[in-house]
Amino acid sequence: MDKPSIEELERIASQVRRDIVRMVHAVNSGHPGGSLGCTDFLTALYFNIMEIKKPFDMNGKDEDLFFLSNGHISPVWYSVLARSGYFEVSELATFRKLNSRVQGHPATEEGLPGIRVASGSLGQGLSVACGAAQAKKLNGDKHKVFVLMGDGELDEGQVWEAAMYAAHHKIDNIIATVDLNGQQIDGPTAKVMDLKDVKAKWQAFGWDVIESDGNDMKSVINAMKLAKSLSGKGKPVINLMKTEMGAGVDFMMGSHKWHGVAPNDEQLANALSQLEETLGDY
Amino acid sequence: MTKYTYTKTQDTRSGFGDGLLELGRTNPNVVALCADLVGSLKMQDFINEFPERFFQVGIAEANMMGLAAGMTIGGKIPFTGTFANFSTGRVYDQIRQSIAYSEKNVKICASHAGLTLGEDGATHQILEDIGMMKMLPHMTVINPCDYNQTKAATIAIAAHEGPVYLRFGRPKVPIFTPADQKFEIGKALKLIEGTDVTIFATGHLVWEAIVAEAELAKEGISVEVINIHTIKPLDVEAILESVRKTGCAVSAEEHQMNGGLGDSVAQTLALHHPAPLEMVAVNDSFGESGTPEELMTKYGIDAAHIIKAAKKVMKRK
Ligand SMILES: Cc1ncc(C[n+]2csc(CCOP(=O)(O)OP(=O)(O)O)c2C)c(N)n1
Ligand SMILES: [Mg+2]
């Protein structure tokens, strides 16, 4: 199957953004800000970059794996999983509702295809991804392990335990990405906990660092291609990806306010008017 | 039924180390991780034979739990090794989310549990770990009693699909269970048959229960000794069957009274067959430095305290 073009990916992303705002609006809860900011990235990963197999297999042998460490941006992941065929898009309507597989934060217990570990308590995903990457090496499996973290999430000490570990053990089949939106719950990261020179930090920990614009589909694709070409050379690779929280919906951009707040009816209508329905709403 | 004696003492952690080595030879999916405590956990033999299946994590237990969860994806069976304190309290949220809730096939192997690690003192003497672990859905909790049982348990948990907490200790203790005894997860072992009172014991307290039984027998008291090596899932049937016969029970463990084996036995009796129960356990306090024997005496978890508890509970029938 041919990989979708940049234009096609952008059209998918537009639908994913519609799904996100509709999902959080329907239950008046959830996290639209980070979800919208990471939409282009996740769309590119699942529709272009990763080699994945269906039906879903928990062990994920001979395919690429993705872990969402910043589990609160579950809406974007759920939408991309559904839109890429892991489950019916109609199931997105059950997000955060009783008896649903589409839990508030990603979970495995209910058996939602596409998810391999629960997340939501921040700081754990890089460790899990490192473990999965080492299991791949033991299995002689040449595929890669992708993981996304938030920038506020980098406050967690466990991230840096895993960062040190990955370089020490030469885990060069992992491609991590940080959603550098400069925001977390209590405000800008620079005010809550300044990351200072985040590039120098990862370099000092022994990682190959690349930088990209996470809201420019071309930049996202090129960054991931570059990351793939850098992997397999003895060092873990990280993509520091600048994004705008709330990207694609003008009134949600530019602050931390929409980290975890759902739009009301009027705001939803406004948001949807900015996002073309390209694949049909669920 | 056989009464128990011993000719040799050995630490239970060596049972873990030897079990792990055997697993390395028989199950290529078994991998091991350790947080800078290889010697204490007796993992060196495994490392020597299977260096490519061992992962040194450094002093980073949170990361170790996440790594182990990740390694299960692709079919590995990771055994993590550190002290019981750093295997549980330090990393509770990591275990809860990445291992228990995610139903990952991780074996959390925890040494130096309880007071009997001795001189290091209360910072290291965790007495809450069984409680923390048994509260987690999907988690199996095992506390073997001697070298042979720990080795057998280590081998058995590799064949069990799902997260397991395996708790063992530092000091040399009597080896009194047979080397060829099969370890069945969730199956209590009746060590001594009796009719007046049942002692449900786990871990290092099983030997103390055997010593207590011998003393009580001299006074004409018939004691049943049951080894509960698996605290979760609990062998409810074995507990009820014994207490229906004896009419009263003593629980014995190297753990807080709150949240330990005694709690589980009390719950079982209250729900199905109310009967008097005395609990030999640490009563809501931290430990301190001392020798294992001194500490067990001071904190009330030795044979003498089991004897007192047995006599007391029989009067409550
Ligand atoms: C261990 C942990 N502590 C606190 C929280 C609550 N929390 C959820 S999201 C968040 C902010 C995360 O910031 P960032 O990673 O930058 O995500 P963004 O807000 O950019 O989506 C916090 C503090 C959590 N989920 N986990
Ligand atoms: Mg952020």
A227 part of a folded domain: yes
Residue-range definition of the domain harbouring residue A118: 6-273
Identify all chain A residues contacting B31, using CB atoms and an 8 Å cutoff.
Answer: 138
Our CA-based measurement puts residue A139 at a distance from the nearest CA of chain B, in whole angstroms, of 8
Q: pLDDT tens digit string along B79-99?
A: 999 999 999 999 999 999 999
Q: pLDDT tens digit string along A2-30?
A: 899 999 999 999 999 999 999 999 999 99
Interface predicted TM-score of the whole assembly (ipTM), two decimals = 0.94
- Give the 3-state secondary structure of residue A102: coil
Query: pLDDT band at B23, cuts 50/70/90?
Result: very high
Percent of chain A scored above 70 by pLDDT? 100
pTM (2 d.p.): 0.96
Nearest-by-CA chain B residue for A129? B70
Active site residue B61: yes
Q: Which two tokens stand for residue A206?
A: 């022994």
- Does residue A74's CB lie within 6 angstroms of at least one atom of ligand 1? no
**What is the C-alpha to C-alpha distance for residues B76 and B255, in angstroms, rounded to an integer?**
32
Q: How high does pLDDT run on average in chain A?
A: 97
Place of tokens 């204490």: B40
Give φ, ψ of A148 to 5 degrees: -115, 135
Give φ, ψ of B187 to 5 degrees: -115, 115
CA R_g for chain A? 17
Is the backbone of residue A191 left (phi > 0), alpha (psi -120 to 50) or beta? alpha
A278 part of a folded domain: no
A280 part of a folded domain: no
Q: How high does pLDDT run on average in chain B?
A: 97
Q: pLDDT tens digit string along A203-228?
A: 999 999 999 999 999 999 999 999 99
Residue span(s) of chain B under CATH 3.40.50.920 come to 189-311
A1 part of a folded domain: no
**What is the C-alpha to C-alpha distance for residues B120 and B291, in angstroms, rounded to an integer?**
10
Residue B143 has a pLDDT of: 98
**What is the C-alpha to C-alpha distance for residues B37 and B56, in angstroms, rounded to an integer?**
9
CATH topology for the B9-174 domain: Rossmann fold (3.40.50)
Amino acid making up residue A45: L
Place of tokens 């200072």: A196
| Cα-based angle A144, A74, B93 (whole degrees, multiple of 5) | 80
**What is the C-alpha to C-alpha distance for residues B28 and A182, in angstroms, rounded to an integer?**
45
**Interchain pair B67, A123: CB under 8 A:** no
Task: Give the C-alpha distances (Å, rounded to integers) separating B257 from A124, B27, B86, B206.
Answer: 32, 38, 21, 16
The CATH code for residues B189-311 is 3.40.50.920
Residue span(s) of chain B under CATH 3.40.50.970 come to 9-174
**What is the C-alpha to C-alpha distance for residues A71 and A31, in angstroms, rounded to an integer?**
10
Sheet holding B197-201, edge to edge: B189-192, B223-227, B197-201, B249-256, B277-282
SS3 annotation, chain B: CCCCCCCCEEEHHHHHHHHHHHHHHHCCCEEEEECCCHHHHCCHHHHHHCHHHEEECCCCHHHHHHHHHHHHCCCCEEEEEEEHHHHCHHHHHHHHHHHHHCCCCCEEEEECCCHHHCCCCCCCCCCCHHHHHHCCCCCEEECCCCHHHHHHHHHHHHCCCCCEEEECCCCEEECCCCCCCCCCCCCCEEEECCCCEEEEECCCHHHHHHHHHHHHHHCCCCEEEEECCEEECCCHHHHHHHHHHHCCEEEEEEEECCCCHHHHHHHHHHHHCCCCEEEEEECCCCCCCCCHHHHHHHCCCCHHHHHHHHHHHHHCC
Task: Give the C-alpha distances (Å, rounded to integers) separating A237 from A35, A37, B57.
Answer: 23, 21, 19
Q: Which two tokens stand for residue B226?
A: 């049951």
Of A61, A118, A158, the CB nearest to B102: A118
Q: Report the separation in Å between the CA atom of A126 and the middle of ligand 1, taken as the mean of its atom positions.
A: 15
Torsion angle (degrees, nearest 10) of CA A228, A242, A214, A166: 30
Residue A80 has a pLDDT of: 98
Inform me whether the pLDDT recorded for A186 exceeds 70: yes
Identify all chain B residues contacting A59, using CB atoms and an 8 Å cutoff.
Answer: 73-75
**What is the C-alpha to C-alpha distance for residues B216 and B192, in angstroms, rounded to an integer?**
13
Residue A104 has a pLDDT of: 97
- Beta-carbon contacts of A128 under 8 Å, excluding residues fewer than 6 positions away, are A67, A69, A117, A147, B66, B67, B69, B70, B73, B98
Inform me whether the pLDDT recorded for B1 exceeds 60: no
The number of domains in chain A is 1
Residue B2 has a pLDDT of: 63
For residue A237, the domain's CATH number is: 3.40.50.970
Query: pLDDT band at A103, cuts 50/70/90?
Result: very high
Q: Of the residues A153, A181, A215, which should be mutated to test ligand 1's pocket, given the most ligand atoms within 8 Å of the CB?
A: A153
Q: pLDDT tens digit string along B191-247?
A: 999 999 999 999 999 999 999 999 999 999 999 999 999 999 999 999 999 999 999
**What is the C-alpha to C-alpha distance for residues A100 and A234, in angstroms, rounded to an integer?**
42
* Residue of B22, B49, B61, B294 marked catalytic: B61
- The arithmetic mean of pLDDT across residues B265-291, rounded, is 98
